[in-house]
Amino acid sequence: MDLMTILRTAYDADASDVHIVGGQPPTARVHQVMTPLDETPLTPAQVEAMFKEMTRADQQERLSRELDLDFSYDVEGLSRYRVNAHYQRGMMGMALRQIKTEVPPLAALNLPEVIARLTYLPRGLVLVTGDTGSGKSTTLASMIQAMNERYAKHIITLEDPVEYLFESDKCMIEQRELGRDMASFASGLKHSLRQDPDIILVGEMRDLETASLAISAAETGHLVLSTLHTVNASQTVSRIIDMYPGGQQNQIKSMLSTTLQAVVSQTLFTRSDRRGMIPGVETLLCTPAVRNLIREGKVHEIPNIIETSRAIGMTSLDSSIAELYFNGTISKEDALAQAVHPDKLERQLVA
């Protein structure tokens, strides 16, 4: 199979990811299941030829030097891909994440209604978290597009690599890619503050400097959207605080308590009622009670606030999972496998 045949076959199968590895047949992840697309293993030479078909000379040189490379790849009329090229057992491999060419509307993502309300925030920090492949990028892109259709503002995105491509509607949108348009997230974020933005999307708060700059940007009146690889809201808050040295943690608790607006934590499930995927979502809104807990370092009490604040749109991940199960949308096995407290959830599902 050549590259275009592999990508077309995966697209028609509604695959989320495609894996092209020397010595193995091309494989796609279809609704979370790894599915071979062909029986014939690809040779290392075939994989290298596909890589060269997708990349520029400078990217090829960078891979040979660093042995890992992230980049984006467009196939006109088909899709856009976020690609990681790497080596394993001395042979080249590539993992391609399919990115839909059109940004889906928030209403099509099966997300809680409260998430649409977050797009009306004038300032502050909003975090969308979850494991790799949990739909964070799609949620953020849909939020950006909702604001693009509503406001006349300046939006800057800092990504690794650029995923969804936006067309400026009412907003002016600039998209900067790591390694091509900026040296690092921290550098891009620092300089973006001098570029007159209203809204900043930071692909990932992956280090202390980026986190500090993102919080400072939110503190100075910008709306900052970003991601973390955490599974729930309390873990997200703890992860940010733990990035800082002990002597600075009281200060960051105070800053975070005033700037954080919401944490949305996602987990994707394979639907049991029909073809497709659906998210389980935990939502934390920063009410005065939540801000006090963050300021006082009582992050472990945040789940209690979420459980008692359903009326204003908060929900725990396990409650969201239980609702999906009772609606007949996901299986019991999947529900328990992804639960934060599986024993407690199992008793609830049986009751």
Question: Which strands make up the sheet holding 79-88, listed edge to edge?
Answer: 33-36, 27-30, 17-21, 91-99, 79-88, 68-75
- The class level of CATH for 106-350 reads alpha beta
Residue 275 gets which letter from DSSP? Answer: S
Is pLDDT larger for residue 142 or for residue 164?
142
Q: What is the pLDDT of residues 175-196, one digit of tens each?
A: 999 888 999 999 999 999 999 9
Give the model's pLDDT for residue 351: 64
Is pLDDT larger for residue 179 or for residue 209?
209
Instruction: Give dist(CA 186, CA 206) in Å, integer.
Output: 9
Task: Name the segment(s) of the chain with CATH classification 3.30.450.90.
Answer: 3-99
Q: By the 8 A CB rule, do 156 and 192 touch?
A: yes
Compute φ and ψ for 126, nearest 5 degrees.
-120, 125
Give the model's pLDDT for residue 100: 75
Q: What is the pLDDT of residues 54-83, one digit of tens each?
A: 999 999 999 999 999 999 899 988 888 999
Q: What is the pLDDT of residues 84-112, one digit of tens each?
A: 999 999 999 999 999 877 899 999 999 99
In CATH terms, 3-99 corresponds, of 3.40.50.1380, 3.30.450.90, 3.40.50.10330, 3.30.70.1290, to 3.30.450.90
Q: By the 8 A CB rule, do 231 and 267 touch?
A: yes
Task: Name the segment(s) of the chain with CATH classification 3.40.50.300.
Answer: 106-350
Q: What is the pLDDT of residues 213-243, one digit of tens each?
A: 999 999 999 999 999 999 999 999 999 999 9
Instruction: Give dist(CA 17, CA 73) in Å, integer.
Output: 13
pTM of the complete model: 0.87
Instruction: Give dist(CA 263, CA 114) in Å, integer.
Output: 11
Three-class secondary structure assignment of 135-195 = CHHHHHHHHHHHHHHHCCCEEEEEECCCCCCCCCCCCEEEEEEECCCECCHHHHHHHHCCC
Over range 139-150, report the average pLDDT: 97
Over range 148-169, report the average pLDDT: 93
Burial class (CB in 10 A: 0-12, 13-18, 19+), 67: exposed
Give the model's pLDDT for residue 141: 96
Averaged confidence pLDDT in the chain: 95
